[in-house]
Amino acid sequence: MTTDSKTNVFHKKKSLFQYMKQNYMLYLFLAPAIILTIIFKYIPMYGSIIAFKDFSPMKGIWASDWVGLEHFTKFLTSPNFGDIFMNTLKLSVYGLVLGFPVPIILALMLNQVKRASIKKNIQLILYAPNFISVVVITGMLFIFLSPTGPINTILSFFMDNPISFMSDPDAFVSIYILSGIWQGAGWASIIYVAALSNVDPQLHDAATIDGASLLQRVKHIDLPTLKPMMAVLFILSAGGIMGIGFEKAYLMQTAMNIPTSEIIATYVYKVGLQAGDYAYSSAVGLFNSIINVILLVFVNYVVKKLNEGEGLY
Amino acid sequence: MNYSKKDRFLLMINKYVLIIATLIILLPLLYVLLASFLEPNVLLSKGISFNPDDWSVQGYVKILQNEAIIRGFFYSILYSVGFALVTVIVSILAAYPLSVEGFRGTKVIMIFFLITMFFSGGLIPTYLVVKDLGMLNSIWAIILPGAISVWNIILARTYFKAIPKELQEAAKIDGASDLLIFFKIILPLSKPIIFVLALYAFVGQWNSYFDAMIYLEDAKLHPLQLVLRSILIQNEVQPGMIGDQLAMAELKKMSEMIKYSSIILSSLPLIIMYPFFQKYFEKGVMVGSIK
């Protein structure tokens, strides 16, 4: 037995080398991707140790002195911490809770449109905003919501004074989330629409013959079809909850709405790249990603419990 | 199918809600399009007008005379095409070996890539690497760091795996090398996935501003989105766009006018591509969902 397995191992090792030699071209194919990944993903991962160092540009990351958790305690005890943390959480939790159901509802509704050409045209329009850049979306928000913009023109029939939405801290979260739904909901519904179009029509026919109403069929046929997808997508978006996009929040910031619009990502950018405090801002960023990983694991656990053992992993 | 009275009522509601949803999407877009063709005076005083006398192409004339916008437009094309090229080449090259049955090391290499989906070095460490490589203020800072995407590799790999194995095996028996198989058999069959990846990469790069903002300090290298940001959001009027002698009100009017036409200009490549490419984008999402 022992000799057998030993020769096996030996045989395998030798043939792995031979295999690689025979198929060296395949390994060469992988080289660019692996090199890029090491340089731009793995080295920065290692570089995150800057968060535990007293970074001095003269010495570089590796030679700078260790300071342990100093930057983390500085962030956690800073007067900004509570606000920034809550702003980030609010933006993403509201975004998830309000934004998650919309594509599902859209897909269920589109599924009831029987004429294929009409359905296609509606989809064509609903998907379009997904291809508009954040700069343009935010620019449009500034145009539409400005005190002299179209929205205030409409509101002027009901109110005396125009509202300057973009400088109102109380309006920031709603504007951020509603414009996000406007832009993304149509595109996010694709995957659900496709799943629904794979449902066997005979199921619906049989249910109708048995006297099921439209709502009953949606509830007992359509929704269960979407359930596995909903679980996966929910875990993924909940896992990214603290990774809320920098790009739009940063553009939407005005001097006036900072109290609600400053989130961890924009803070990291300002402290790190604008003010040049590399180590401290890396610690803030690292803190954020750690929370993300914890959330992903936690949400996956909860969904697994609720969803009869079916989670992401 | 026969519907009860209640069901027919529900379907009617469904129809109207969908119409409203479509209008909510469409109206702001139409507003921008119409506004881009209006005299700024009219827009400021009357709002949208359908009177042909109020129409003008002044906004477009102004942006076409604007150096920053035109330069930004060409840089955007350069960055987007370059980014798409590198992304596609790197992704499909990496995906092919991982799709070959019995390829040694698939598991380890996949884990190596997948880890980057869950952990990242973060903004500052990545910035420092790019800086240390001396890539600040160069096109490479825009193209290389983002070019590697695990998602793209998975998409391409899924596609390659669906190609019938018999073709490759037959070629192998005939003595074809891996290189030959890849270029003569796999690539010609992979046009749709190459198209999808290239489009995703192009659109993503075209619409982004963040990498350019942090890596390109030289404003002369800025892509269109950054130029747009200064016009739309920071409300800066580009120097040279307006003669010094013009009054402040005139300046405001002008900036109002450029806003709409520059939005349309920046969306032009996507508008042209959109109806034609829609099915490919959808296909991309679907391939990804099968995994």
> How much is the mean pLDDT over chain A?
86
Model confidence band, residue B200 (pLDDT cutoffs 50, 70, 90): confident
Q: Do B6 and A296 touch (CB under 8 A)?
A: no
pLDDT greater than 60 at residue A10: no
Q: Would you say domain B66-290 falls under CATH 1.10.579.10?
A: no
- Take residue B84 and report the two structure tokens written for it: 């798409």
List the single range of A150-164, B183-197, B248-262 with lowest mean pLDDT.
Answer: B248-262
pLDDT greater than 90 at residue B171: no
Q: Are residues A246 and A302 in the same domain?
A: yes
- Which distant-in-sequence residues (6+ apart) come within 8 Å of A257 by Cβ? A166, A167, A168, A169, A171, A172
Q: Are residues A98 and A19 in the same domain?
A: no
Own/partner long-range contacts of A253-259 (Cβ < 8 Å, ≥24 apart): A254/A166, A254/A167, A255/A167, A256/A166, A256/A167, A256/A168, A256/A169, A257/A166, A257/A167, A257/A168, A257/A169, A257/A171, A257/A172, A258/A169, A259/A83, A259/A169
Q: How many Cβ atoms are within 10 Å of B253's Cβ, its own excluded?
A: 19
Cα–Cα nearest to A25, from B182, B190, B99: B182
pLDDT tens track for B173-189: 888 888 899 998 899 98
Q: Is A226 an 8 Å CB contact of chain B? A: no
ipTM of the complex in this document: 0.86
Q: Do B128 and A278 touch (CB under 8 A)?
A: yes
pLDDT of residue A7: 47
pLDDT greater than 50 at residue A1: no
Rounded Cα distance, A64 and A26, in Å:
41
Q: Is B208 an 8 Å CB contact of chain A? A: yes
Asked if B124 contacts B62 with a C-beta cutoff of 8 angstroms, the reply is no
Q: Do B129 and A281 touch (CB under 8 A)?
A: no
The gap from C-alpha B151 to its chain's centroid, in whole angstroms, comes to 16
> Considering the domain boundaries, does residue A17 fall inside one?
yes
**Measured torsion, CA atoms of residues A93, A95, A97, A102, in degrees rounded to the nearest 10:** -170
Angle at A238 between CA A233 and CA A241, to 5 degrees: 135
pLDDT tens track for B107-144: 999 999 988 887 788 889 999 999 999 999 999 999 99
Q: Are residues A159 and A275 in the same domain?
A: yes
Q: Residue ranges of the domains in chain B?
A: 66-290
Asked if B139 contacts B82 with a C-beta cutoff of 8 angstroms, the reply is yes
B235 or B88: which leads in pLDDT: B88
Q: Are residues A196 and A290 in the same domain?
A: yes
pLDDT of residue A293: 82
Model confidence band, residue A139 (pLDDT cutoffs 50, 70, 90): very high
Q: Are residues A101 and A4 in the same domain?
A: no
> Considering the domain boundaries, does residue A53 fall inside one?
no
pLDDT tens track for A39-70: 999 999 998 889 898 888 777 777 888 888 98
Asked if B97 contacts A29 with a C-beta cutoff of 8 angstroms, the reply is yes
> Considering the domain boundaries, does residue A203 fall inside one?
yes
> Considering the domain boundaries, does residue A66 fall inside one?
no
Q: Residue A29 is part of which domain span?
A: 1-40
Q: What's the number of domains chain A is made of?
A: 2
pLDDT tens track for A198-246: 888 899 989 988 888 889 999 999 999 998 888 888 887 776 666 667 8
> Considering the domain boundaries, does residue A60 fall inside one?
no
Q: Please give the average per-residue pLDDT across A72-92, as a whole number.
A: 90
Cα–Cα nearest to B147, from B81, B226, B195: B81
Q: Please give the average per-residue pLDDT across B247-261, as a whole number.
A: 75
Q: Is A35 an 8 Å CB contact of chain B? A: no
Model confidence band, residue A21 (pLDDT cutoffs 50, 70, 90): confident
CATH of the domain at A199: 1.10.3720.10
At residue B147, φ and ψ (nearest 5 deg) are -70, -25
Residue B128: its chain A contacts at CB < 8 A? Answer: 44, 47, 50, 61, 278
Count of positions (residues) in chain B: 291
pLDDT of residue B102: 85
Q: Do B121 and A36 touch (CB under 8 A)?
A: no
> Considering the domain boundaries, does residue A91 fall inside one?
yes
Q: Are residues A119 and A7 in the same domain?
A: no
Rounded Cα distance, A248 and A172, in Å:
11
- 3-state SS record for A133-183: CHHHHHHHHHHHHCCCCHHHHHHCCCCCCCCCHHHCHHHHHHHHHHHHHHH
Q: Are residues A98 and A159 in the same domain?
A: yes
Q: Is B113 an 8 Å CB contact of chain A? A: yes
End-to-end CA distance of chain B: 35
Which of A16, A29, A182 shows the shortest C-beta gap to B97?
A: A29
pLDDT of residue A4: 47
Count of positions (residues) in chain A: 313
Q: Are residues A164 and A93 in the same domain?
A: yes
Rounded Cα distance, B251 and B277, in Å:
39
**Measured torsion, CA atoms of residues A126, A127, A128, A130, in degrees rounded to the nearest 10:** 120
Size of interface A-B (CB pairs under 8 A): 240
Asked if A217 contacts A224 with a C-beta cutoff of 8 angstroms, the reply is no
Instruction: Identify the closest residue of chain A to B277 by CA–CA distance.
Output: A124
